[in-house]
Chains A and B, each alone.
Chain A
Amino acid sequence: MSTFLGMPYAPRGVGHLRGEQPFPVAARAALADTQLRRNLGRATTTIRAKRAAVVAELPDWEELRAAGEAIKRHTLAHLDRYLEQLEDQVTARGGTVHWARDANEANRIVTGLVRGTGATEVVKVKSIVTDEIGLNEALAGAGITAHETDLAELIVQLGHDRPSHILVPAIHLGRAEIREIFLREMGDVDPGLTDAPAALAEAARLHLRRRFLSARVGISGANFAVAETGTLCVVESEGNGRMCLTLPGTLITVMGIEKVIPSWRDLEVFLQLLPRSSTGERMNPYTSMWTGVTPGDGPQRFHLVLLDNGRTAALADPAGRQALHCIRCSACLNVCPVYERTGGHAYGSVYPGPIGAVLSPQLTGVADNASLPYASSLCGACYDACPVRIDIPSLLVHLRARHVEEAARARRVPSAEAVAMAAASWVMASPARYAAAQRAGRAGRALGRGGRIRRLPPPLSAWTAARDAPAPPAQTFREWWRRERGDTDGTAG
């Protein structure tokens, strides 16, 4: 199915929303990567503690979450109006707004804008949405080099790698690997470079400074866009954002349509929720806000590209659309026991972890990311951590249901799993059949030794690969009750 209720999905063949392997396969390989396990385990444990500490400081954290959730819900309910208002405001202040139906269109627009300046290089602030649409590859195809300036994105770019976390994309790499990448790929680096993080950051600073000071075109994403005033907001730590947003003559900002917020005042909620949830700080080092063009200050040409790329498909699902509330803090990644052990690459999309498992399938269509909604034990830690209260566990169950329903419609012959589930439902819908099935299941007792079963046939072999299974008891509870207490009330087996 290529649309959801008529709303097209993000197209295939462009961008990075789909993995090459289903999650269980990719996860198994990742679990064996000892450096990833150590780095990620340490990183997530550290951020969890920092986040918990700064959240505990605020007496009104739950009130802020409630406001954040409500503002996002309200915004989506009037998304068309707010986007039009945003466009009016940005345009009135000298900016130009472009609309992109999908990744290909966005890439064409941005490439055209860069070409129009005559520049063959651009500097980029970290922007997951530009990773989503594969912008760098599209620009390269047009002979334009996109220089990542966020340290982790720089590391990933120089290493010809892919980001594995929304906030700290190079977390899967250790300092020694990063040093090697710099020595190999940074032309101007000191050969005596050590692997101390401070030395590596200094190397990046020197490498990038030249680029910043001479850049003609900057490309960014946006954390928030205020409809009321046309103001865009970028939240960052290193200063590369400020560099790219301030020094070049032309600025192009690509933004998912769900990032708009109604009013200036709403920033007071999100600028408290985001830093504490993402880096576990009271406030991130730098936040930049600008509206259109300011004569004599910063870029004199500003372009805002509003991107759909499957977001309207998500919007069309009343149960699923809350995934669009996400403010990209990555708190859910940091508390997820699955993500902590597998890392981001296993999810195959630039949006990994719990939010990725509910957002990626909605942008691409569930069929193209069918394994993601199942990449969770439904423990609910993500829901507790989410600053805007996205009910990710319920969303996961909802997407599993969509997957089953869509698969049933698409197939002529039901899958083995569907047959088994239908049979189980039929059996359990009747106490008589259910009790009969229990009696039949008692045959499994013979498989047990000392009450334990060591090996079961597939698919339950996945269980006994690592665990013993209990052998069925001599009598079930209802048999015991009937024996001890006489007949049960109601129809009994």
Chain B
Amino acid sequence: MAPRAEDPARAEVLARIRAALGAGTRDAGEIPRAYRTGAGLGTEELIGLLTERLNDYGTAVRRCPDGGVAGAVRAALAERGARRVVVPAGLALDVAAPDGVTFLADDNLSPDALDAADGVITTAALAIAETGTIILDAGPGQGRRAVSLVPDYHLCVLHAGQIVAIVPEALGRLDPRRPCTWISGPSATSDIELDRVQGVHGPRTLEVILVGA
């Protein structure tokens, strides 16, 4: 591939664009941003709305007080019957693996090794209540993208203070350079006769532990 400055395709496409737009003024007018940028909801309302929306997607939500995370995680894993669970670096989970459960550190586990695990625990960057969305941005405790994708069970630990109300509030809090995954319920398809089927390629079970709620 030719270096950028000498790439004839690049030069031609840009030349075509300039010719297409013509010599005149390029003014396209102001961009009106009269849509909502905030929703003024209190913490309790945010918790309630997020929980309702997650439940709509078939995502179970466990609520626990600050300091109750360990217990909630143990209960969730026991209920699930998960035995080999991936734990990303920086999760700071102050809980020893329950009996019969092995926590696997993500030492660059291969896709097959991830597939062999029963599940993964992560934190999140933030959540959007209106759309029931959880956002992971590869920060501490979230892991690289593959670890929250391949295992069939994803347990996400979220703090009440991480919930925002609407989409515009989320973008300002995220670093665009970090790889980001927005999760709104487990995977689904409506491709067959528009009949919605849940659980295709992503984790088929998503559970949320909501802390401080």
Contacts and interface: CB of A to CB of B under 8 A. Distances in A.
Interface of A: 5-7, 39, 42-43, 46-47, 59-60, 63-64, 66-67, 70-71, 73-74, 76-80, 83-84, 87, 91, 93, 96-101, 105, 149-152, 155, 168-171, 174-175, 178, 197-198, 200-201, 204-205, 208-209, 212-214, 226, 228-229, 231, 237-240, 242-243, 245-247, 257, 264-265, 267-269, 271-272, 275, 279, 281-291, 294, 296-298, 306, 308, 312-313, 315-316, 321
Contacts of A231: 176-177
B12 interface: yes
A297 B144 contact: yes
Contacts of A271: 167, 182
Closest 8 CB pairs of A and B: A239-B202, A239-B201, A283-B131, A152-B191, A316-B20, A239-B187, A297-B144, A312-B16
Nearest to B135: A287
A32 to B, nearest CB: 20
Interface of B: 1, 4, 7, 9-10, 12-14, 16-21, 26-37, 53, 57, 108, 111-112, 115, 128, 130-133, 138, 144-146, 149-150, 167-168, 170-172, 176-195, 197, 199-203
Contacts of B4: 87, 91, 97
22 contacts: A47-B194, A63-B35, A63-B36, A66-B32, A67-B33, A67-B34, A73-B29, A74-B29, A99-B7, A150-B191, A151-B192, A155-B191, A168-B190, A198-B197, A201-B197, A226-B176, A243-B149, A282-B132, A289-B176, A294-B179, A298-B145, A312-B16
B189 A237 contact: yes
A283 B1 contact: no
A122 to B, nearest CB: 16
A300 to B, nearest CB: 12
A200 B202 contact: no
Given A201-B197, A208-B201, A298-B144, 16 more contacts: A63-B32, A83-B13, A84-B14, A96-B1, A105-B9, A205-B199, A212-B201, A242-B149, A257-B13, A268-B168, A275-B131, A288-B145, A289-B180, A291-B177, A294-B178, A294-B179
B31 A71 contact: yes
Contacts of A152: 189, 191
Contacts of B12: 99, 101
Nearest to B12: A101
A265 B172 contact: yes
B17 A315 contact: yes
A76 B1 CA distance: 27
B182 to A, nearest CB: 4
Contacts of B17: 79-80, 83, 257, 312, 315
A238 B32 contact: no
B34 A63 contact: yes
B15 to A, nearest CB: 9
A46 B13 CA distance: 41
Contacts of B172: 265
A60 B165 CA distance: 14
A62 to B, nearest CB: 9
A298 B143 CA distance: 11
B194 A291 contact: no
Contact of B192 (A200, A268, A294, A296): A200
Contacts of B189: 151-152, 201, 237-238
Nearest to A264: B176
B133 A283 contact: yes
A171 B193 CA distance: 6
